[in-house]
């Protein structure tokens, strides 16, 4: 008996079965017709079922043509290093390329939920519903996913525009960004490690001898070099500027003779280390047997990586790592070691390892550091006080936060002073820096008000060495703000120029009388310059003659005036305002 052929199966992309039958002039009974009104749905059916033919009505032809162009050369999409999928609105995959199948561990991802195909990864953002957002807004979205095996994927979703109604399908590209993310994480870890290299509390630093600090830093460097950078062989040398010699600081797994050999910062005859120190350029030696510059450090080393230790773009030493394998280091390793080396250089500088036993140089360095920091910290105090003045009585939380900033900024200067005293032993100070003991000045607070930055800086230089805490202000308004902010620990002395940008010395004295009783004021002036008669008026309301300094004044005159105010706080009493 002859079997009848099965009905041909036709996929119709159109509005209705009737419109097709009218067009084809064929009764639907003669064939099986599957009608869909969405071209993307038609594509999904084509990937799952077999059809004898596809018919597209005119109104959908352009849309189907565009989709066909997108997928017409499947070889291109299959060969892409990125994954590509076509998604339905419920996140079901309609089509996916080979790369997506590889990542999912499946022969085919058609019909599988997108997130399930990648093992239900964690969505890290910035968009935590990227596919829903793309369909809802009609705009492309991006997000990052992290899989269970700690791989990272960046997904880009673009809605497919349709002739009728909102978009219901997405084209999604998936890129494996694991290496990039891990590099970023490693950079962050290196930065954190650099911050921890010399991480000590002020009390620990105060009581720790120089040698112990050196050993602590060396221990931290070795720890991070091995555990974070994964370098097993390392050497650090510091440059002695006077002799141009590269002094060994630490060596890990280096040949003892190589670790102690004499090396100088010269481009020839001193190995890769000497070349790097002389030129300030990093050097990647991929094969030591073919590199004439290389001098053996670790026995059997086949490759090396050497970078300069830079502090403010000045070479202060070298950091060298070696491997028993050829071409063991990449450009990423170079980048990581350069970043870490800058932190090492900063830590070395902080702990004064560069001048460990050179006491006079250490003392001068501490003085220079404090001079460089003092005025910038004062600027922070001034700005914080100015802002705080606007919020007092309105937003107590803001005021409290600003008060913490003030306390922290003041602590910075105190920590620098304490660290400096510990780093520079008393017997190490040069004769020029030795000062007489003046007990009355010890731990006093002084505010200096002057528009001239040189005067403010000089005040720090003159008074800081007597353990006086000096703060500065540019004008009278800033000074008043600073005084109001110091109600818990008021200034012992206020030294002000009579010629300020916003008022004269006498006017400042009157304003101070409103908040400070008595007023611990010393006025500075040039000989013969007092157009506002501020000196005369100030004298009338109680300012003593010794509380007036005529520029240029000697250091002993300044110290004497400050000590007078401290000894006789009531010498500038409040009084009636004279009529001028």
pTM, whole model, 2 decimals? 0.40
Is 215 part of a structural domain of the chain? yes
User: Does 319 lie in the same domain as 201?
Assistant: yes
- How large is the average pLDDT for residues 434-451? 83
How many residues belong to the chain?
580
Mean pLDDT of 161-190: 75
**Across 22-33, average pLDDT:** 57
Can you list the alpha helix ranges (DSSP code H) found in 424-533?
453-463, 476-485, 505-513
| C-alpha span between 452 and 503 (Å, rounded) | 15
**Would residue 183 count as lying in a domain?**
no
Strands (DSSP E) contained in 348-432 are none
Query: What is the secondary structure of 166-224 as a DSSP string?
Result: S--EEEEEEEE-HHHHHHHHHHHHHHHHHHHTT---HHHHHHS-HHHHHHHHHHHHHHH
318, 326, 333 from 234: Cα distances, Å:
11, 16, 14
- The reply to whether 264 falls in a domain is yes
CATH of the domain at 488: 3.40.50.2300
240 with 280, same domain?
A: yes
Residues 163, 87, single domain; the answer is: yes
Q: What was the pLDDT predicted at 168?
A: 78
222 and 344 belong to one structural domain? yes
CATH number of the domain bearing residue 280:
3.30.450.40
Domain assignment of residue 430, yes or no: no
Span 452-456, average pLDDT: 85
**Average pLDDT of the residues of the chain:** 76
Q: Is there a single domain that holds both residue 15 and residue 47?
A: yes
Domain range enclosing 50: 9-69
Over 70: is that where the pLDDT of 354 sits? no
Residue 24: pLDDT above 60?
A: no
265 with 313, same domain: the answer is: yes
Q: Is residue 2 part of a domain?
A: no
> Does one domain contain both 340 and 447?
no
Residue 484: per-residue pLDDT: 87
pLDDT in tens, 227-238: 666 788 889 999
Based on the fold, state whether residues 130 and 159 are members of the same structural domain.
Answer: yes
Residues 86 and 14 in one domain: no
- Cβ contact 33:58 at 8 Å: no
Is the pLDDT at 495 greater than 90, yes or no?
yes
Same domain, 96 and 153: yes
Give the confidence band of 267 by pLDDT, cuts at 50, 70, 90.
very high
| 136-173 pLDDT, tens digit each | 888 889 999 998 888 889 998 888 776 566 777 888 88
Token duo for residue 492? 């012992």
Q: How confident is the model at residue 80 (pLDDT cuts 50, 70, 90)?
A: low
More confident residue, 199 or 202: 199
Calpha distance 117→101 (Å, rounded): 8
Q: Are residues 206 and 293 in the same domain?
A: yes
Q: Is residue 479 part of a domain?
A: yes
Could you tell me if 41 and 133 lie in one domain? no
Of 425, 454, 474, the one marking the end of a domain is 425
Q: Reply yes or no on whether the pLDDT at 531 is more than 80.
A: no
Least confident of 102-116, 131-145, 170-184, 412-426: 412-426
Provide the domain count of the chain.
5
Q: What is the CATH number of the domain that holds 101?
A: 3.30.450.20
- Boundary (domain end) residue, out of 305, 324, 353: 353
């Amino acid at each position: 008996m002859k079997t009848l052929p099965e009905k041909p199966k036709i996929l119709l992309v159109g509005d209705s079965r009737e419109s097709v039958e009218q067009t084809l002039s064929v009764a639907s009974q003669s064939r099986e017709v599957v009608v869909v009104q969405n071209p993307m749905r038609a594509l999904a059916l084509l990937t799952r079922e077999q059809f004898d033919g596809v018919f597209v009505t005119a109104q959908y032809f352009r849309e189907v043509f565009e989709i066909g162009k997108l997928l017409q050369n499947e070889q291109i999409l299959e060969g892409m290093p990125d994954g590509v999928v076509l998604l339905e609105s419920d996140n079901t995959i309609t089509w996916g390329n080979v790369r997506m199948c590889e990542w999912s561990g499946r022969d085919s991802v058609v019909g599988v939920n997108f997130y399930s195909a990648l093992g239900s990864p964690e969505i890290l953002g910035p968009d935590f519903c990227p596919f829903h957002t793309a369909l809802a807004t009609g705009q492309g979205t991006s997000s990052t996913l992290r899989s269970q095996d700690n791989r990272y994927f960046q997904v880009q979703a673009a809605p497919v525009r349709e002739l009728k109604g909102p978009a219901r399908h997405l084209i999604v590209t998936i890129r494996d960004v694991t290496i990039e993310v891990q590099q970023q994480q490693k950079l962050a870890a290196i930065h954190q490690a650099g911050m921890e290299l010399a991480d000590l509390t002020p009390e620990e630093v105060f009581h720790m001898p120089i040698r112990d600090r050196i050993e602590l830093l060396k221990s931290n460097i070795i720890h991070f070099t091995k555990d974070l950078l994964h370098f097993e062989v390392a050497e650090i040398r510091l440059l002695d500027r006077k002799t141009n010699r590269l002094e060994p600081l630490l060596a890990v797994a280096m040949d003892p003779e190589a670790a102690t050999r004499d090396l100088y910062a010269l481009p020839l005859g001193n190995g890769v280390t000497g070349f790097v120190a002389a030129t300030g350029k990093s050097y990647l030696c991929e094969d030591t047997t073919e590199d004439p510059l290389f001098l053996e450090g670790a026995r059997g080393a086949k490759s090396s990586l050497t970078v300069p230790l830079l502090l403010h773009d000045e070479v202060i030493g070298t950091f060298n790592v070696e491997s028993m394998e050829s071409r063991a280091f990449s450009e990423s390793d170079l980048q990581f070691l350069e970043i870490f080396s800058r932190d090492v250089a900063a830590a070395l500088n902080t702990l004064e390892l560069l001048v460990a036993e050179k006491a006079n140089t250490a003392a001068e360095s501490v003085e220079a550091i404090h001079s460089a920091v003092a005025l910038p910290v004062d600027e922070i105090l001034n700005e914080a006080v100015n802002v705080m003045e606007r919020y007092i009585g309105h937003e107590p939380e803001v005021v409290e936060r600003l008060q913490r900033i003030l306390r922290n900024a003041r602590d910075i200067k105190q920590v620098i002073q304490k660290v400096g005293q510990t780093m520079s032993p008393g017997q190490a100070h040069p004769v020029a820096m030795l000062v007489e003991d003046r007990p009355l000045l010890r731990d006093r607070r002084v505010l200096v008000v002057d528009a001239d930055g040189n005067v403010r800086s000089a005040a720090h230089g003159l008074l800081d060495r007597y353990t006086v805490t000096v703060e500065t202000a540019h004008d009278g308004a800033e000074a008043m703000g600073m005084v109001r902010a110091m109600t818990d620990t008021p200034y012992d002395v206020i030294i002000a120029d009579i010629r300020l940008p916003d008022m004269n010395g006498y006017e400042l004295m009157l304003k101070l009388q409103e908040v400070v009783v008595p007023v611990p004021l010393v006025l500075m002036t040039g000989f013969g310059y007092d157009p506002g008669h501020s000196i005369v008026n100030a004298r009338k309301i109680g300012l003593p003659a010794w509380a007036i300094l005529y520029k240029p004044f000697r250091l002993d005159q300044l110290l004497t005036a400050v000590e007078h105010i401290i000894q006789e706080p009531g010498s500038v009493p409040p009084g009636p305002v004279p009529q001028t």
